[in-house]
Amino acid sequence: MFRMNLIKILLLAAFVLGGMSLYAEQPIRILDKTGEPISYALVQIGNKKPIPVNAEGEIDLSTILAEDQVLIFALGYETKVLSGKECHNQNQIILEEKESSLEEVVVSATRTDRSIADLPMPVTVLSQEKIQQTGGIRLSEVLREQTGLQISSDHGAGLQMQGLDSEYILILLDGEPLIGRTAGTFNLDRISVSNIERIEILRGPSSAIYGSEAMAGVINIITKSGSQPKTANLGFRSRTFNSWNPFVELGIQQKDWQVDVLYDYFQTDGFDLTPDVVGQTQNPYQGQTAQMKVRGQLSDKFELSLFGRGYIESARAEMEVNSSSPESSQIVTENSLRDWNFNPTLRFKPNENWLFSLRGMSSWYATLADSRYKSSGENFDFQDFNQFYHRTELQTDYQANEKNLFTLGLGQITETVEATRYKGKNRFDAGYLFLQHQWNPSKKVNVVSGLRADLHSEYGGRISPKISAQYKFSKAFSAQASIGSGFKAPDFRQLLLNFNNAAAGYYVFGSLLAEEGIANLQSQGLISQVLIRPESLGALKAETSWAINGGFRWNPDPRLKIQVNAFRNQIENLIETAPIARLTSGQNVFSYFNIQSVITQGVEVDLGYTFRENIRFNAGYAFLDTRDLDALDQIDGGQVFKRNEQNITSLVTRSDYGGLFNRSRHSGNLKISYQEYLTGINFSLRGIYRGRFGFGDLNGNLILDDESEYAKGWMSMNFTASKQFDNGIFLEVGGTNLLNTSTPNQPNNPGRMLFAGIQVPLFNK
């Protein structure tokens, strides 16, 4: 009922808006390959307004001149260009079906090439067009416009997915993990979008193939590979806050070899939301990315690819500290970051059924923060951090028959870290094995099951299973469900931290160092009481989760796409700090424990409607519910109180409890894109809504339970206009947060920003 009415209404609207011009005599029919009329095709004559065909796919073209150029197009079909003469000579035109966007290949979900339509788990792919529409320069600016994703500001721009923080999301670059996190956050501003071809967003735990960190989901960034013999593109983008981003892309293809090079420079003056306080909200910084990809066919069975990337960032920060004299209160910090990746891959395909991929992956990540007194230049604080990560992996894919594809992976990881806050050089070793079976018992059913075993030198073993299944009820409707386990290994900080906050007088020891640290302090006579014997702590376990995801994809009409996914993540053994000993000074010694349990659940809906070939609507909505089970226990036990500004204390009840901080219960987006035919300009207008969220505790009980602890919901209106000229030059202008909505509790929102950019292809042949 609903479906029919909706279609009728929209069709009617299409006709009214399109301006009907139908004549009865000698119409031309627009058909698909099977001879069915395409009722929503459009015909454009010269530079005139496109005209829709009627419900039978008919249009009268008898009045056009022989020399007119006629463009015939329809959603999902290849556009046809004919001359007026050609049109006069026929009474029907057949359009070829376009390779549907559902045929889009996704790599990250199964580590094999698989089209979205065949994936039984929730996956979204952002095409280059969608990335370009955001006008974003850094990765966070693209992801923040997607349904169910939020960018939080905690030691960098961290992603939030399914209500879980950045530390539980694996970030891949061309399929290989990126390392380098501060307090768990992977700063998405480290990634430039200038040469991203597409982004795969995989929701739900994927530890069954990726191991640690892939608890909430996986983001796979796929960089461009030129497909022409010679490519050279120059780009330049500029925007508010003296930010500019020149880049150059080069590509050469010869015989069986392809080389792609990128250099990208970004700099910004940053911004300041609190001008009365010393130090900016975002510090000025500059980042440089250089990347090179080499891919070649060694023989018809061997393929070699080499990937190298370097990223250098430097930033300057100022702050004020409590001090007896004003001269010694101003501190300047010079920060630098270096990130190098080198990933060689050798693929061997002896025949149609077997594929062996041997991958090496090495990453070096280093940060340095040198803080000095502004007046004297004397040292105030110095921190450095050096991490090395190496992985060797052999993946074997075996297509046993049409219905069964098996994947076996074997890998080894070596990781070392050296830092001011860690003692000596530390090394971890791990090995893993994963098995995956992709099974298509019939055309309607497909099942992906997987299991991964990780063995780690510090936290022991972990088995992560996952099974996903899809049933295609019809070509238009399919349902997916999956259940899987995710985990996140204790990180360096939690295992190795050897930190003495000298000013405040407390110590924090990683779980591996707690025993030794306590013994040391005891021998110095600094411990007054041991609260928990460190030897009784046992090894810190990995944080683990079980998650279910279920939803459907429905195309009630070729122009309407609906995708729904509901999820529930139950996370156990979350790692927190707690005191283990008391110092004679009255301060404490802290270490890390597996204590917390958290639930995140919700539903995400995406709806896309192509009103006409040149007008598209997208709407997204995400509902999110989160809760800390230990906080709820305390509330139920009558242990939690709150105090208002009049100093009246009251008991906190379940109805006061707002879940985890920095989670929006409601969020969504509404996007309209429109291509103006006469000028060829693409317009894209997006409203991105983030519902209210708890920004921090204000009444001393550390949980979210009071109106004053919420930041108001806000809407960011973003607009981009772009045009691709016939000579290949691409121009864009636009702005983000055009309404200039100020949100003091969202430090990554600077207010209105305007941008302009140009890309010039020097030669693409």
Report the distance separating Cα 83 and Cα 94, nearest Å: 15
Query: Is beta strand 169-173 parallel, antiparallel or unpaired with respect to 217-223?
Result: parallel
Q: Which residue has the tokens 């989760």?
A: 545
Stretch that binds other proteins, among 251-259, 315-323, 333-341, 750-758 (CB under 8 A): 315-323
The answer to whether residue 78 forms part of the interface with other proteins (CB under 8 A) is no
The answer to whether residue 63 forms part of the interface with other proteins (CB under 8 A) is no
Eight-state DSSP code of residue 97: B
The answer to whether residue 290 forms part of the interface with other proteins (CB under 8 A) is no
The answer to whether residue 697 forms part of the interface with other proteins (CB under 8 A) is yes
Report the distance separating Cα 83 and Cα 64, nearest Å: 10
- Shortest reach from residue 515's CB to other proteins, in Å: 20
Among 5, 524, 529, 536, binds other proteins (CB under 8 A): 529
Among 100, 696, 740, 742, binds other proteins (CB under 8 A): 696
621: left (phi over 0), alpha (psi -120 to 50) or beta: beta
Among 210, 271, 311, 380, binds other proteins (CB under 8 A): 380
Is the CB of 382 or the CB of 725 nearer to other proteins?
382
The answer to whether residue 642 forms part of the interface with other proteins (CB under 8 A) is yes
What residues contact residue 723 under an 8 Å CB cut-off, 6+ apart?
Answer: 679, 680, 681, 682, 730, 731, 732
The answer to whether residue 657 forms part of the interface with other proteins (CB under 8 A) is no
Report the distance separating Cα 84 and Cα 68, nearest Å: 5
The answer to whether residue 155 forms part of the interface with other proteins (CB under 8 A) is no
Site string for other proteins, 583-622 (x = CB under 8 A): ---xxx----------------------------------
CA angle 245, 247, 252 (to 5 degrees): 165
- Shortest reach from residue 707's CB to other proteins, in Å: 12
Report the distance separating Cα 729 and Cα 725, nearest Å: 5
- Quick one: tokens of 688? 């991105």
Is the CB of 64 or the CB of 703 nearer to other proteins?
703
Among 241, 364, 373, 641, binds other proteins (CB under 8 A): 641
Is the CB of 641 or the CB of 689 nearer to other proteins?
641
Among 35, 275, 377, 637, binds other proteins (CB under 8 A): 637
Stretch that binds other proteins, among 68-76, 145-153, 690-698, 722-730 (CB under 8 A): 690-698
Residues from 319 through 358 that contact other proteins (CB under 8 A): 319-322
User: How buried is residue 360: exposed, middle or buried, by Cβ count under 10 Å (0-12/13-18/19+)?
Assistant: middle
Q: Which of 292, 311, 295 is nearest to 367 (CA)?
A: 311
Is the CB of 166 or the CB of 207 nearer to other proteins?
166
The answer to whether residue 277 forms part of the interface with other proteins (CB under 8 A) is yes
Report the distance separating Cα 272 and Cα 742, nearest Å: 12
- SS3 string, 53-82, reads CCCCCEEECCCCCCCCEEEEECCCECCEEE
Neighbours of 90 (CB within 10 A): 12
The answer to whether residue 742 forms part of the interface with other proteins (CB under 8 A) is no
Stretch that binds other proteins, among 73-81, 221-229, 417-425, 500-508 (CB under 8 A): 500-508
Three-state secondary structure call for residue 554: strand
The answer to whether residue 533 forms part of the interface with other proteins (CB under 8 A) is no
In this structure, the chain runs to a length of 765
Among 35, 275, 424, 700, binds other proteins (CB under 8 A): 700
The answer to whether residue 654 forms part of the interface with other proteins (CB under 8 A) is yes
- Quick one: tokens of 729? 């030059």
- Shortest reach from residue 495's CB to other proteins, in Å: 19
Element (H, E) at 680: none
Stretch that binds other proteins, among 70-78, 264-272, 293-301, 641-649 (CB under 8 A): 641-649
- Shortest reach from residue 600's CB to other proteins, in Å: 19
The answer to whether residue 381 forms part of the interface with other proteins (CB under 8 A) is yes
Report the distance separating Cα 40 and Cα 52, nearest Å: 7
Among 643, 679, 725, 729, binds other proteins (CB under 8 A): 643
The answer to whether residue 275 forms part of the interface with other proteins (CB under 8 A) is no
Give bridge partners of residue 126 from the DSSP assignment. 199
The amino acid that residue 758 corresponds to is I
Site string for other proteins, 541-580 (x = CB under 8 A): --------------------------------------x-
The answer to whether residue 377 forms part of the interface with other proteins (CB under 8 A) is no
Report the distance separating Cα 479 and Cα 50, nearest Å: 37
- Shortest reach from residue 579's CB to other proteins, in Å: 5
Distances (CA, A) of 703 to 600, 648, 667, 710: 16, 18, 22, 12
Three-state secondary structure call for residue 168: helix
403 and 441 Cβ atoms separated by less than 8 Å:
yes
Stretch that binds other proteins, among 294-302, 471-479, 694-702, 751-759 (CB under 8 A): 694-702
Q: Which residue has the tokens 């594809």?
A: 405
512 and 535 Cβ atoms separated by less than 8 Å:
no
Give bridge partners of residue 620 from the DSSP assignment. 606, 669
Among 299, 649, 678, 707, binds other proteins (CB under 8 A): 649
46 and 68 Cβ atoms separated by less than 8 Å:
yes
Is the CB of 356 or the CB of 506 nearer to other proteins?
506
- Shortest reach from residue 184's CB to other proteins, in Å: 13
In the complex, the residues that contact other proteins under the rule CB under 8 A are: 154, 277, 319-322, 379-381, 500, 502-505, 528-529, 579, 582, 586-588, 632, 636-643, 645, 647, 649-651, 653-654, 696-702, 708
